[in-house]
Structure 1
Amino acid sequence: MSANEKDIQNSCCSGSHEQKLEVIQAETDCCSKENTDHGKQEASCCTAQETEERESSCCETGEVDDDKDAGQPDNPLQLVEYQIKGMDCPSCAATIEKGLQKKEGIQSVSVNYGTAKMAVGAENPALFDQIPQHVKKLGFDAHPLQTEREMETYKVEGMDCGSCAATIEKHLSNNAAVKEVRVNFSTGKLHVRHTTKPDEIIKEVQRSGFEAYLESGETPAAGKGNDRRHFPAATVSGTMLALGFIGSFTPLSAAWITAFYALAIAVGGWKPLRSAFYAVKSGSLDMNVLMASAALGAALIGEWFEGAMVVWLFAVGNALQNRSLERTRDSIRSLMNIAPAEALVKEGRQWIRKAVEEVSIGEVIVVKPGDRVPLDGEILSGASSLNQAPITGESLPVDKQEGDVVYAGTINESGSLEVRVTKRSEDTAIAKIIHLVEEAQEKKAPTQAFVDRFAGVYTPIVFILALLVMVIPPLITGGAWGEWLYKGISLLVVACPCALVISTPVAIVSAIGNAARHGVLIKGGTFLEKAGAIQVMAFDKTGTLTEGRPKVADVITLHGEKDELISIARTIEEYSAHPIAAAVSAYASERGISAVNGRDFRALPGKGAQADIDGTVYYAGNSKLFKELGVPLNELESQLKQLQSEGKTIVLIGTAEEISGIISVADSMREITVRLIQSLKQSGLKELVMLTGDNEGTARRIAAEAGVDRYFADLMPEDKTKAIEKLKHEGKQVAMVGDGINDAPALASSDLGIAMGGAGTDTAMETADVVLMADNLEKLPHTIRLSRKALTIIKQNVWFSLLTKLAALVLIFPGFLTLWMAVLSDTGAALIVILNSMRLLRHKA
């Protein structure tokens, strides 16, 4: 038996029955996906039946036991699954597989690009902890699936820029009890997997100079951390600074004045100094290190006023920055507070209030007029209009009745509803939206990643340059030590890249939060930037630009009255479930035209239907049916061809002797489509394209009605992918808009995949880069404009930050820039960048 066969046997035979069933289900899902995508998914798979047969063959033959008896090791192969982030194409999956297979001790590696999951097999459990490091070296992120649920999330206060996050991360990484740690400055959150108590993690963060508390608020320590009254360091420091400054104009002795300034430095600088100590200890050069060095240096050269001013301005600037950043970070808080905390649950004949977390699937809740729906569910009784704007961004209430789905957080406008709960509180649509938005806000955009790398190189270089400025000129030119020390300290302050580092993440968080409030999920900074750079947008026709269901387009009478023709057609079609029959019946119903008494209803597969009306057999069908009946169609040929050339389906109504009339049916345009296309053109898109599997005639008609610039007709699903590739080869950034399921290959191959109707489908929320929660395109122009404005603001922030630093550097050496002015320029630049980014929160649709 080959080594590869042994790995397969070990992997399929080890583990519980439930785990095997999960493998079978995963492979079945893989096959469904592969069939849907017409072979686009590269990962190979087999049917559930084949998998079960393979399980049986490898687990029952006894070959594994024979090999074991022949001298194979007793240690069973263990499998651990990881979630992989950062893969752009199937070749990335191949890169990870090849990279890990070279590592000693790893027996098997399988990466599935479609699900972004990796299964690693090894006999030594210690190897599994090293996998994330190996994957990171390959340029990707890996997180064990079985341990992600153990990750605790803490809210961190006091972070001013990305270097603060790095300081906390490095400090906690040195703690043996911490297994994995991630700190995100954008959202102000710490994600940590550890083996100690939450109190210990909170204390470790405090030692780094920051405050932390459990986001869930489940422990007393977390509550204390959240509600604690902070010592007013900025106020006390400012008071001491003011007393010293005022004292300098009075006969007060110099010793007292110096004492006031020293107290101002001690009170205001204690926290930055403590943070600086831990930053240096963990090998990080953050702003606390630079500011603490500047304040201590000023005191050493006797510039007590300058040192006190540095500390006070830094404390005030931090307070203002933190307040502004919290407003930005809480841009999604309005969503989190939408769903009520309690539900009125039916128990027997009584209604009892319960916390939503305690309500189980299948229980019945009541939603009174004016109340918010507490949980996702299905209406059992009652009818009402619901305001779904918090979920989908729709401006008008949606009518709901028995059998319809309602979402947590939506507002019941009128009637009372009894709703059967279908999802637990953590699985509701609003919960998923919040989770996806928070994930998106934590993902770095390409610009942010570049800026972080730049800052990582820039800061130590300027720090070294500042030390050289302090030492070299006095040694070589004999200049005054105090003067060059002062310039070196000023350079330290200017070296802080805070404004530059926060220029991108604050804008990204603000824009993603704004989009979420308008019913649009943007899955990360990368996709926000891509949306702002899109030049061409391609649309799937059916269900996107059009309603996706046929409607009557023309009614042409040849004999008799129009209403009589429609009544006959409705009588014949009323008992058919065919979409065209339903369109004819709906058309008659809308006009109040009822069916007449008929009998002997019969369906004629592939041709139409018939019914006996008042002793005469009437037919509704295609031209093939009437040709077989011997009815002459010569006079109608030109008219039929004209209708068909317009992409319409023909239904002829008549008897075995003559044609009474013609009804044409076509897919109808959405009401907003024309307005949408015009709005997108005004947003600056160069070309709008329609992709459809319909014939040339239908495509031409819909394209003309919609106002798109170009169309591709007669496309199979794989052909849509080729059309996207063709547009990309023309040198354009292409976005694809579809329903997230049938258009999966095209969505995946485009530069930006935009799915519709995320509120109703988990698939759309998981697969696309951007999700429109409502089943329409109303918010698409707003998304494009918001993304472009975000790109503009990011560029403004970056250039402003760089030019401010350059100006400060130029002014230091002639002596025009004092130390406190350097602090003011740094803090002021950071505040301006934050305020500029916050404009995205107020950007209106």
Structure 2
Amino acid sequence: MSDTTPAKTTQHQTPQAANASTTLRVQGMDCGGCERKVETALKRLSHVEQVSASSVAGSVRLTAPPGKNLPHSDIESTITALGYQVIDESVNTAESKKPSSWWQSSKGRLVIISGVLLALALGLKFVWPTLGSWPFIAATVVGLVPVIQRAWQALKMGNPFTIEMLMSIAALGALAINAAAEAAVVVFLFAVGEMLEGVAAAQARRSISALSKLTPSTARLLEQGETREVAAASLMPGQRVQVRPGDRLPCDGQIIAGHSSIDESPVNGESVPRERGEGETVFAGTVNLDGVLEVEVTRSAENNTIARVIKLVEEAQAAKAPVARFIDRFAFYYMPAVVGVALLVAVIPPLVSTMLWSESIYRALALLLIACPCALVISTPAAIAAGLSVGARNGLLMKGGAVLEQLGKLKRVALDKTGTLTAGKPTVTDVESLEAGSHLDKSRCAEIVRLSAALEQGSSHPLAVAISNYYDQQKGAPVPTVQGARALAGQGVAGRVEGRELMLVSPRYLQSFTQQTGEIETRIAALEAQGKSLAVLLERGIETGIEREDGIESERLLGLIALRDEPREDAREGLQALERLGVQAVMLSGDNARTVAAIAEQLGIEAEGELMPEDKAQRVRDWQAQGLGPVGKVGDGINDAPALAAAEVGIAMGSGTDVALETADAALLKNRVGGIAEMIALSQATMRNVKTNVALALGFKALFLVSTALGITGMWVAVMADTGATVLVTLNALHLLRYRFNNV
């Protein structure tokens, strides 16, 4: 996947070829029109190759041509001239981070001033009818001055079709045709609409940036046996911190001492706390519930899990979905077209009918007000950003709107077996006695596990760890000591346990030393046919007095233990959820065909085994050529890289690992198969929200364009329709933040 994602591509560029890029925080961008103004102005600067503004994220990302540097001073002055503010993120004060109330913002103050002046003008008109229109003209001019300033700056920077320009022409035109009262109302309603847009956009940004509050600001640093409080941002790898019960972990790290339950829901959305002990990995932002922990820092603050998730979510918000790019292109041609229609409405009727010029101009001015496509342009990015935020909060990380949009279109998903559909490590599935008459005798089986665990103690081999863990789960007596323990290269282990010479070997090794009966051979073959690995416990004849005719020591079969990498607990449920969504799941694995077939039968899934990485990629390409796509690929992000790259969407499993966060298009931080269906369902819900928003925006535009052209509605209604539609679609997008996965 590394050759298809931007994050990967830049890692392999040389410093000379790399493009200089930066992301700026910008305050005041609250709608799609704001985005277009900023992008148009910044693209005119030299050494700026690409610009992407996001009103939802409140950011602007810029890229310079190869070998060039970005003109930072010109960029900041341009943004400031447009009426927006570049935020210095290095200023880390409580005041700079505290959100202002609406009445403290410049837009809020303009609403208050315009409202007071309008109310005063209405009062004077009531008590002094002969005063004329001067109070309304004054109210209009005061409210219109900052609008004209922004329109003029945008015009100088090559963007004449802005809502500020249309508002300025409409208000000044209204004054010219002696509609001062209506002009004052329009200016006030426009200020209210902009203020509401700002409130809605700020709410979206707050809900998305809430992740940044998960990491505590301070940490208890351990030095020479003593603790002192330091800033969490100052922690460096290798340092150690103390985490008390109830504290949030200030860093990614490894537990050096202690044991506790950890609430990991802030990172992966998992509601059930996990037991963590020495040697295990913990993540910043998670909550230590009941034990004191000593944790060694493994990542600096800017690289910990929470920081990386925030960075990826912010980058994802700025990456526009195909539908968003289409809407942007539509708006680019739509506004000039409507301006042209407004000119025709102003000029043609008086020439071909008895309509007065004042009336036709009034209708044209109202059309200009309804022309701005703010609601249409914001309809898509607001919904996409909300969907990405919901996903991140629930352990579903998607890199951009394009990925989120494509997920909902998937028709087939290819899944790896090991570590994806299965847990990635073997577990004990069967324990059987091979002594006559005691096939499933519980006491004999327990003894087999006890002796096998004794032989395997201290070994790091996956099968040995599985047997030891299985015995620990039985909560039996302590494992007996093994003497003379030795490895039988590639075949098993041997040693003396409680005075008995024991061996734990594979069936292949067993064939060369023992005479198996047909019944035992049949049983071993049956277990192996199920894709299970076997360990056979036997006792050497030197202790039993048994000796074969050729004088070689004989062995007595005691029992066997079968192990297999079993499916994840939610694997079948997750596959059923995909089926309900109409998505076909297929297992592609490099494991032997027998094991793959056994797991596939257990899960009820189509499967193919013994595939090389390039074979998996070819299967994906074949499906695409047959029209069975779009195709998603789910794997670990390393050995499945060719198939991940070939698929429309690559999804990595992994609880916040580097591979999961950096190599694929999306990552399942919960490490659950069910997360695939949740991603697809969230994508479909998001795109339904987008379609609803587009329908609302276009519906409002169509209705009021017609009614305004026919003279049914006036300018103030046009302004209410435009700003009201913008606020409505933004609030509808925010509704996605309450999305629940219960019905997946």
Q: What is the TM-score of this pair, normalised by structure 2?
A: 0.88
Asked if 1 retains the 8 angstrom alpha-carbon contact of 2:364 and 2:709, the reply is: no
Task: Identify the range of structure 1 (814-823 vs 182-191) with the bigger mean alpha-carbon deviation.
Answer: 182-191
SS class of match (1:253): helix
User: What is aligned with 2:130?
Assistant: 253
Task: Identify the range of structure 1 (827-836 vs 339-348) with the bigger mean alpha-carbon deviation.
Answer: 339-348
User: What is aligned with 1:77?
Assistant: none
CA distance in 2, matches of 1:650, 1:221: 65
Q: Cα distance, 1:359 vs. partner? A: 3.2
User: What is aligned with 1:585?
Assistant: 468
CA distance in 2, matches of 1:607, 1:223: 63
Give the aligned residue type for 1:425: A
Q: What is the TM-score of this pair, normalised by structure 1?
A: 0.78
SS class of match (2:320): coil
User: What is aligned with 2:509?
Assistant: 625
User: What is aligned with 2:57?
Assistant: 187
* One of 299, 308, 327 as aligned partner of 2:203: 327
SS class of match (2:310): helix
CA distance in 1, matches of 2:631, 2:675: 18
SS class of match (1:275): helix
User: What is aligned with 1:565?
Assistant: 448
* One of 657, 669, 673 as aligned partner of 2:567: 669
CA distance in 1, matches of 2:616, 2:97: 54
CA distance 1:211–1:618, shift in 2 (3 Å): closer
* One of 295, 299, 307 as aligned partner of 1:419: 295
CA distance 1:825–1:693, shift in 2 (3 Å): same
SS class of match (1:685): coil
CA distance in 2, matches of 1:615, 1:416: 42
SS class of match (2:129): coil
SS class of match (2:487): strand
User: What is aligned with 1:165?
Assistant: 35
CA distance in 2, matches of 1:743, 1:671: 23
Asked if 2 retains the 8 angstrom alpha-carbon contact of 1:338 and 1:390, the reply is: yes
CA distance in 2, matches of 1:762, 1:120: 23
CA distance 1:615–1:201, shift in 2 (3 Å): closer
Asked if 1 retains the 8 angstrom alpha-carbon contact of 2:382 and 2:730, the reply is: yes
1:812 counterpart = 2:689? no
Task: Identify the range of structure 1 (364-373 vs 231-240) with the bigger mean alpha-carbon deviation.
Answer: 231-240
CA distance in 2, matches of 1:164, 1:328: 16
Give the aligned residue type for 1:652: V
* One of 418, 424, 427 as aligned partner of 1:548: 424
Q: How does 1:765-784 map to 2 (within 5 A)?
A: 765-784=661-680
User: What is aligned with 1:267?
Assistant: 142
* One of 152, 156, 159 as aligned partner of 1:281: 156
Q: How does 1:180-329 map to 2 (within 5 A)?
A: 182-191=52-61, 204-217=78-91, 230=106, 232-255=109-132, 258-284=133-159, 285-329=161-205
SS class of match (2:408): helix
Q: Cα distance, 1:204 vs. partner? A: 4.6
CA distance in 1, matches of 2:678, 2:704: 38
CA distance 1:170–1:588, shift in 2 (3 Å): closer
Asked if 2 retains the 8 angstrom alpha-carbon contact of 1:366 and 1:417, the reply is: yes
SS class of match (1:395): coil
SS class of match (1:638): helix
User: What is aligned with 1:80?
Assistant: none
CA distance in 1, matches of 2:733, 2:97: 31
1:762 counterpart = 2:658? yes
Q: Tell me the matched-pair count.
A: 709
Task: Identify the range of structure 1 (326-335 vs 448-457) with the bigger mean alpha-carbon deviation.
Answer: 326-335
Give the aligned residue type for 2:25: Y
CA distance in 2, matches of 1:736, 1:249: 71
* One of 252, 261, 269 as aligned partner of 1:376: 252
CA distance 1:481–1:691, shift in 2 (3 Å): same
Query: Quick one: percent identity of the two aligned structures?
Result: 36
Structure 1 residue runs of 5 or longer lacking an equivalent are: 1-36, 43-83, 88-112, 122-127, 129-142
CA distance in 2, matches of 1:221, 1:181: 30
What does the per-residue CA deviation read over 1:223-263, in whole Å, with 9 as the maximum and x for residues that have no partner? 999897536221222233234345555552241xx122112
Give the aligned residue type for 2:705: L
Q: Cα distance, 1:406 vs. partner? A: 2.2
SS class of match (1:490): helix
SS class of match (1:352): strand
What does the per-residue CA deviation read over 1:620-657, in whole Å, with 9 as the maximum and x for residues that have no partner? 32333232124133233332222222111233333435
Asked if 1 retains the 8 angstrom alpha-carbon contact of 2:434 and 2:520, the reply is: no
CA distance 1:116–1:589, shift in 2 (3 Å): closer
CA distance 1:733–1:476, shift in 2 (3 Å): same
Asked if 2 retains the 8 angstrom alpha-carbon contact of 1:207 and 1:274, the reply is: no
By relative contact order (CA 8 Å, sep 6+), the higher-ranking structure is 2
CA distance in 2, matches of 1:690, 1:764: 19
Q: Cα distance, 1:485 vs. partner? A: 0.4
Q: Cα distance, 1:788 vs. partner? A: 0.8
User: What is aligned with 1:25?
Assistant: none
1:605 counterpart = 2:481? no
User: What is aligned with 1:133?
Assistant: none
Give the aligned residue type for 2:445: K
CA distance in 2, matches of 1:602, 1:817: 93
CA distance in 1, matches of 2:501, 2:403: 60
* One of 230, 233, 243 as aligned partner of 1:357: 233
1:736 counterpart = 2:633? yes
Q: Cα distance, 1:803 vs. partner? A: 2.2
Q: Cα distance, 1:119 vs. partner? A: 4.6
Asked if 2 retains the 8 angstrom alpha-carbon contact of 1:786 and 1:840, the reply is: no
Give the aligned residue type for 1:679: A
Q: Cα distance, 1:618 vs. partner? A: 3.6
CA distance 1:340–1:626, shift in 2 (3 Å): closer
What does the per-residue CA deviation read over 1:113-137, in whole Å, with 9 as the maximum and x for residues that have no partner? 855754597xxxxxx9xxxxxxxxx
Task: Identify the range of structure 1 (512-521 vs 588-597) with the bigger mean alpha-carbon deviation.
Answer: 588-597
CA distance 1:165–1:388, shift in 2 (3 Å): same
1:689 counterpart = 2:565? no
Structure 2 residue runs of 5 or longer lacking an equivalent are: 439-443, 540-553
What does the per-residue CA deviation read over 1:277-308, in whole Å, with 9 as the maximum and x for residues that have no partner? 11222221111111111111111111112211
Task: Identify the range of structure 1 (476-485 vs 593-602) with the bigger mean alpha-carbon deviation.
Answer: 593-602
Q: Cα distance, 1:414 vs. partner? A: 1.4
Q: Cα distance, 1:430 vs. partner? A: 1.0
CA distance in 2, matches of 1:629, 1:86: 58
Give the aligned residue type for 2:146: K
Give the aligned residue type for 2:253: G
Asked if 1 retains the 8 angstrom alpha-carbon contact of 2:591 and 2:610, the reply is: yes
Give the aligned residue type for 1:840: L
Q: Cα distance, 1:813 vs. partner? A: 2.8
1:704 counterpart = 2:588? no
What does the per-residue CA deviation read over 1:337-357, in whole Å, with 9 as the maximum and x for residues that have no partner? 111112222344543222223
Task: Identify the range of structure 1 (279-288 vs 692-701) with the bigger mean alpha-carbon deviation.
Answer: 692-701
Q: Cα distance, 1:201 vs. partner? A: 6.4
CA distance in 2, matches of 1:694, 1:232: 67
1:455 counterpart = 2:331? yes
CA distance in 2, matches of 1:170, 1:778: 43
CA distance in 2, matches of 1:329, 1:812: 34
CA distance in 1, matches of 2:681, 2:72: 46
Give the aligned residue type for 2:523: Q
Asked if 1 retains the 8 angstrom alpha-carbon contact of 2:578 and 2:584, the reply is: no
SS class of match (2:485): strand
Asked if 1 retains the 8 angstrom alpha-carbon contact of 2:26 and 2:84, the reply is: no
* One of 619, 641, 644 as aligned partner of 1:723: 619
CA distance in 2, matches of 1:597, 1:177: 72
Asked if 1 retains the 8 angstrom alpha-carbon contact of 2:480 and 2:498, the reply is: no
Asked if 1 retains the 8 angstrom alpha-carbon contact of 2:577 and 2:674, the reply is: no
Asked if 2 retains the 8 angstrom alpha-carbon contact of 1:332 and 1:516, the reply is: no
CA distance in 1, matches of 2:243, 2:660: 28
Q: What RMSD, in angstroms, separates the aligned Cα atoms of the two structures?
A: 3.1
